[in-house]
Amino acid sequence: MHHPLQRRLARWLLSAADASSAKSFELTHEELASLLGVRREAVTESLSRLSLAGAIETTRGRVSLRDRQLLRNASCECHDLSLDDRVSMAPRASHRRIAAIA
């Protein structure tokens, strides 16, 4: 399923925040465009919309999460589904790791 760029960008930012526990990332629009496989201008436009909505703040070379709920609302449903998968798999993965160590 293909999602509009703004939703994919919001999901990417949420996933990056979840993985790193960071609320701010040193990333240029060009780097984000490369990561998402789109033109820089499209990323700039999507970041501007997310910023105007109050979900993020952008400065030169940095993107900061301001309102996680607004960003979740802007993201595709895949973020919640992938988060649910990670949470539901975590106890089993821990159990397997403990069994492998013992």
Mean pLDDT per 10-residue run, the chain (102 residues)?
Answer: 84 94 94 96 97 97 96 78 46 42 43
Q: What is the pLDDT of residue 80?
A: 52
Q: What residues make up the domain containing 12? A: 5-101
Query: Residue 29: which CATH number?
Result: 1.10.10.10
CB 54 within 8 A of CB 14: no
Q: What is the pLDDT of residue 20?
A: 93
What's the structural domain count of the chain?
1
Closest CA to 3 of 70, 76, 82: 76
Q: What is the pLDDT of residue 76?
A: 72
